[in-house]
Structure 1
Amino acid sequence: MDDIDEAPDLPSKNALETASWRREVHALYAAVRAEQDPATAHALWVDTRSRLFLEHPASPRRQGQSLRHAPYDPAFRFVVPIEPAEQEPWEFRSATDGVVPFRGAGRVTLSGLGTLDVWWLDSYGGGLFLPVRDGSAGQETYGAGRYLLDTVKGTDLGREGDRWVVDLNFAYNPSCVYDYRWVCPLAPAANRIEARAAVGELLPEGYDS
């Protein structure tokens, strides 16, 4: 869903449906950024994502699946600078698009949780990418991690001056959680934290590992 996932081969009708999906996602995040109250923005995000997941023809949903979200917890919202950091580039290998390269864009420090590396998608389109795997992975949340930001697909929570909004209440699952035909990059070692953050999108109803 609305992330850096690589989709299965799409006939033209499905390609148009996917384009429609992405427009909806861009519009949703624009509305989220415009809302002054984070909890209200989160409620809008949950309601819209849940509706799209159940109703949109491009949804990766399989029969019996529906989204689950934790209640909003302001303790997991951070507004932080992206600080310079030494980062080795990494590559995601996709059966459809081959090697997808990432290079370091910096690092964010989340008080009480740890640090996460921010990556630049170093191919067509570009964009910042921030995945996370926290201590709830494999229990309440997807075992391989979730996504916080993916600006090439519009999932951007905004900035305050030169600081970025990093809110784990908006962490969402990659499409491969719902449909095995999708392939998604997982959180690299630098984006795995031991602290538990069971907020945001949880394992869905009807999840079958």
Structure 2
Amino acid sequence: MRLLFLIAIVCSTLLSFGQTRYEAAKAFQDQLNREFADSLKSPLKTEDRISFKELPFYPIDTNFVVVAKIERIEEVEIFEMETTTNRLPLYSPFYKAAFQIDSFPIELTIYQSEDLKNKEGYENYLFLPFTDATNGTETYGGGRYIDLEITESDILVIDFNRAYNPYCAYNANYSCPIPPRENDIHIPINAGVKYVDKK
């Protein structure tokens, strides 16, 4: 009886943890939809915003919420990240993150913006641009982004359900960072925002 009780407690805890991750991803996606519908925040062209209903998302899948082992990059080299225009914003590698998805080992570099790190409210902001095997078919060909924050831990939760498209996917007036080659994931990441090319 006691063993069954303990098993029930563990299962309940795991279910609650999964629900928490699901709810967090859903809240992010709902917020993103609100921003795209907001005339003051939306990257959409006026005609597209007027007809906008919601972004196309993959179904939320908590298997794409990973706990990455992170290592701080000590020898920081500031570099110019390529963009979709001639703009070259300065970034520095901040963490190396290692994790697995479906037993496939992945290592990505997480970056810090040199422009934003001294801006109030963005001191802990980190940037994860990546490409994967869905680009150009189900997702935007130029890759996607995830926003993260600095942590004092040696692990970092990365939720690919929060992956979003660069603004230039919707409006060519934007200048968007191009994910460095080292952040190419060779498997499909079927999570986050999809892309529908209206052209």
TM over 0.5: yes
- Looking at structure 2, the residues matched to 160 and 170 of structure 1 have their Cα atoms a distance apart, in angstroms, of 22
The alignment partner of 1:42 has SS state of helix
Matched, 1:132 2:130: yes
Counterpart pick for 2:155 among 133, 156, 163: 163
- Looking at structure 1, the residues matched to 151 and 112 of structure 2 have their Cα atoms a distance apart, in angstroms, of 17
- Looking at structure 1, the residues matched to 162 and 184 of structure 2 have their Cα atoms a distance apart, in angstroms, of 17
Residues 153-192 of structure 1 aligned to structure 2 (within 5 Å): 156=149, 161-192=153-184
Aligned pairs, number = 167
Residues 17-166 of structure 1 aligned to structure 2 (within 5 Å): 37-62=20-45, 63=48, 64-65=51-52, 66-84=54-72, 89-92=78-81, 98-111=87-100, 112-125=104-117, 127-149=125-147, 156=149, 161-166=153-158
- Looking at structure 2, the residues matched to 87 and 124 of structure 1 have their Cα atoms a distance apart, in angstroms, of 16
AA aligned to 1:178 is: Y
Q: Relative contact order: is structure 1 or structure 2 higher (C-alpha 8 Å, sep ≥ 6)?
A: 1
Per the normalisation by structure 2, the TM-score is: 0.71
- Looking at structure 1, the residues matched to 107 and 82 of structure 2 have their Cα atoms a distance apart, in angstroms, of 25
AA aligned to 1:148 is: I
Q: Which stretches in structure 2 are left out of the alignment for 5+ residues?
A: 1-18, 119-124
AA aligned to 1:195 is: I
Identity fraction in percent: 30
Q: 1:144 to 1:93 in 2, by over 3 A?
A: closer
Greater displacement, 89-98 / 61-70 = 89-98
- Looking at structure 2, the residues matched to 41 and 179 of structure 1 have their Cα atoms a distance apart, in angstroms, of 28
State the Cα distance separating 1:160 from its structure 2 match: 8.7
Matched, 1:200 2:192: yes
Greater displacement, 75-84 / 136-145 = 75-84
The alignment partner of 2:71 has SS state of coil
- Looking at structure 2, the residues matched to 131 and 95 of structure 1 have their Cα atoms a distance apart, in angstroms, of 13
State the Cα distance separating 1:98 from its structure 2 match: 4.8
- Looking at structure 2, the residues matched to 98 and 169 of structure 1 have their Cα atoms a distance apart, in angstroms, of 29
The alignment partner of 2:90 has SS state of strand
AA aligned to 1:99 is: L
- Looking at structure 1, the residues matched to 38 and 130 of structure 2 have their Cα atoms a distance apart, in angstroms, of 27
- Looking at structure 1, the residues matched to 85 and 178 of structure 2 have their Cα atoms a distance apart, in angstroms, of 16
- Looking at structure 1, the residues matched to 126 and 31 of structure 2 have their Cα atoms a distance apart, in angstroms, of 23
- Looking at structure 1, the residues matched to 154 and 135 of structure 2 have their Cα atoms a distance apart, in angstroms, of 30
Contact 2:84 2:176 in 1 (8 A): no
State the Cα distance separating 1:110 from its structure 2 match: 2.3
